[in-house]
Chains A and B, each alone.
Chain A
Amino acid sequence: MAGTAAVLSGCVTAGNDDPAEQATGAVTEDNPLGVPDGADLEVVMFDGGYGQEYTQHAVTLYEQRHPDAAVTHEGLQKVGEVLQPRFVSGEPPDVVDNTGAGRLDIAALAAAGQLTDLADLLDAPSLDDPAVKVRDLLLPGVVEDGTLDGTAYFLNYSYVVWGIWYSRSLFDQHGWTAPATWDDMLALCEEIKGAGIAPWTWQGKYPEYMMDPLQSLAAKAGGLDLVYAVDNLEPDAWKQDGVLAAADAIHRLVTGGHILAGSEGLSHTEAQNAWCSGEAAFIPCGSWIEGEQQGVTPEGFDMAMAPVPALSAADALPYGAVQGASSESFLVPAQALNPRGGLDYLRCLFSGEVARGFAESAKAMPVVKGATDGLDLTSGLASVAAALETAGENVFGYKYRTWYPELAVEVDTATGELLAGRADPEQWADRIQAAADAVAADDSIAKYER
């Protein structure tokens, strides 16, 4: 077999060990990150629900700052498949928006030394005001979200809040209000059913969507201790009272017949369209739903997000607490040809101007402070901003999904069974606990703690 030997010598794992030439130009007031003159820039972004307008916008700013640079900008849906070989071969782009179902595992990228430390960017003067560092322009928690083992490796662009969505106009018409406790929720469900509308629908093909209200109920009941126990894979973490009570609360939607028939077979778009067309009153979702549905939302629908109701009066967190996290992870590969340019591109991206454009075009919250101030917010985005305001410090989030994707798959499968009425809350908890124990016992899986 001629030819085999020659190619095998360039085997995958042989890799590319010569360090990319660290191209750095002169650092000036105008060029604080030392981008070399005329160095080209390649940006690869995830082309999802937020569109490409904001990353294009940043390209325009970058081109104004570096007129000699040729900038290529590409939107992709399967970031992982396309970029993985490029990372391994040492030829990654200069900026990557690593998001979407096909994203790369950022922790693995960091562990493999594939990411640039963003400290220089965070301490650089922001584009808006040279007196303010980029770091101080970001909402609280954003830098922490992108920090692994003490180093900032990526920055998320969008701030996502999870809750329960409804149509304001529909609720006004019937005199309903978003319930503050789960008992009120169940009572309201009866009333909604009486009006000939299904109280709930959900994105059944992706059970993760229903896991968000479930784990929000649990977090409110048990507080951050409950959340950390789950994330740290503690024994019987999934059998804590709060978790079981939350699963039972969600299960009551099933036993009470409050879910639109067939929801367990609907994709996210189908379920959301059923909700938008008035077939169901509530749907669980993150704050991206308004942007995702903008093409099909009827005039005057006025969607709004309410926090997940409180489980009981003894809850550890207030009703206003919300699950929130930043997403859309931007990073600069360590082996990029123009890493300084990559950092400067992010400086453009995380500027007030681009962030404002993002809020308008993508109908989502950017992580840049004050970006939505003075903007005429759409109904959904305004409700999200208000919810965040009310929540204040009480924003929580789970990490097990990113830390242990193996566990997340089993959580979703079990949740699907719970919602289809084929498993009760005990069976649901047993199944997930078994999977969590298996992950905890598996030495080949890297463990994290919070």
Chain B
Amino acid sequence: MKPNLSKARIADGALHLVLIVWAVLVTLPLAWAVLSSLKTDAEIFASPWSLPAAPQWDNWARAWQEANIGRYLLNTLIVVGGALALVMLLGALTAYCLARYDFPGNRLVYHVLVAGMLFPVFLALVPLFFVVDQLGLLGTYHGLILVYAAYALPFTVFFLHAFFRGLPTATAEAAFIDGCSHTGVFFRVMLPMARPGMVSVGIFNFLGLWNQYLLPLVLNPDPDRYVLAQGLAALAVSQGYRSDFSGLFAGLIIAILPVLLAYILFQRQIRSGLTAGAVR
């Protein structure tokens, strides 16, 4: 037994080592970005790892002001929040109908929806602009929300479809016998049962929409309504013309912070959501 145990111990040590190496690989670039955001441009170029002589908080202030991060953060929250709520409701309804009801055209609708995941978005950009423009939705919050929701729908349906299929039928049957309507069964029985799956796909969607860049670039031309990704891109591009690396890093960190904080605060819920979602 003894040699076995020490062998296991060596294996444990090796495992830990590998895990630590990856943890370092993952955190280093971020730590470095934080460090760089507090240095002057000259210090950044002198040596990547040196500490700043004096922390340049001014970089952060500059990025906050010039890049208008606060305003963009609010815009992003409005648009992503609205789109998320909409796509979750519509996606769940669609997935549920397609997974639990048999009707002519069911497979066709499912496949057309799922095919939407496979197409490069920027090809649709110009035609999409006309659609949005003709509906008078250009540069509005609700226009962007509708478009975001439409483009997040395929993945949501794809993910939840399998989930609804896997739910037991007995409860729904019982509800029907009790005289519950189709709508009632969905909202009162099936949706609560699907909650874990909803949380998982909600997280996927949140991250996807939060980082959406091409859609707002074309459909959201008003700088007052810019979302965070647009503001950051403007910062990164203008950096290319004006050499302000430290300001760029500060902007990056400011943009990462809210998501990072949200993740650390909610990581337990996110994980349990993913756990349940993964079982299916």
Contacts and interface: CB of A to CB of B under 8 A. Distances in A.
B41 A295 contact: yes
20 contacts: A1-B112, A10-B130, A11-B127, A12-B130, A77-B234, A77-B237, A81-B217, A85-B125, A85-B126, A85-B130, A85-B218, A88-B130, A268-B240, A269-B245, A273-B41, A274-B45, A277-B42, A292-B241, A295-B242, A296-B42
B215 to A, nearest CB: 11
B218 A81 contact: yes
Chain A CB count within 10 A is highest, among B41, B42, B241, B244, for: B241
Nearest to B109: A1
Contacts of A1: 112
Nearest to A88: B126
A82 B214 CA distance: 10
A48 B241 contact: yes
A368 to B, nearest CB: 22
A267 B241 CA distance: 11
Nearest to B219: A85
8 tightest CB-CB pairs across the interface, nearest first? A85-B129, A49-B241, A77-B237, A48-B241, A296-B243, A10-B134, A12-B127, A296-B41
A139 B234 CA distance: 33
Given A85-B133, A89-B129, A89-B130, A273 B234 contact: no
B223 interface: yes
Interface in B227-280: 233-234, 237-245
B221 interface: yes
A78 B217 contact: yes
Given A47-B238, A85-B129, A269 B243 contact: yes
Interface string A6-21: 0100111000000000
A104 to B, nearest CB: 12
Nearest to A78: B217
B162 to A, nearest CB: 24
A78 B122 CA distance: 14
Contacts of A84: 126
A12 to B, nearest CB: 5
Contacts of A295: 41, 242-244
A47 B244 CA distance: 15
Given A1-B112, A273-B45, 10 more contacts: A12-B126, A78-B217, A82-B217, A85-B125, A88-B126, A88-B130, A293-B243, A295-B41, A295-B243, A295-B244
A295 B246 CA distance: 11
B19 interface: no
A89 B135 CA distance: 13
B103 to A, nearest CB: 15
Nearest to A16: B130
B150 to A, nearest CB: 11
Nearest to B220: A82
A22 B130 CA distance: 24
B14 interface: no
B24 interface: no
A78 B133 CA distance: 19
A270 B248 CA distance: 14
Nearest to B217: A81
A446 to B, nearest CB: 21
A273 B40 CA distance: 13
A27 B241 CA distance: 41
A77 B67 CA distance: 14
Nearest to B239: A269
A292 B237 CA distance: 12
Contacts of A293: 243
A267 B134 CA distance: 41
A295 B41 CA distance: 9
Contacts of A372: none
B131 interface: yes
A47 B240 CA distance: 11
Interface string A258-269: 000000000111
Chain A CB count within 10 A is highest, among B127, B130, B223, for: B130
Contact of A277 (B45, B125, B223, B233): B45
Nearest to A7: B131
A293 B45 CA distance: 14
Given A48-B241, A269-B240, A273-B41, A7 B126 contact: no
A273 B238 contact: no
A278 B112 CA distance: 59
B42 to A, nearest CB: 7
A85 B221 CA distance: 11
A272 B134 CA distance: 46
Nearest to B214: A81
Interface string A23-60: 00000000000000000000000011100000000000
B233 A77 contact: yes
Interface in A398-443: none
A74 interface: yes
Interface in A229-276: 267-269, 272-274
Contacts of A85: 125-126, 129-130, 133, 218
A166 to B, nearest CB: 19
Interface string A85-96: 100110100000
B201 to A, nearest CB: 24
Contacts of A74: 221, 223
A99 to B, nearest CB: 11
Interface string B127-141: 101110110000000
Interface in B22-58: 41-42, 45-46
A351 to B, nearest CB: 25
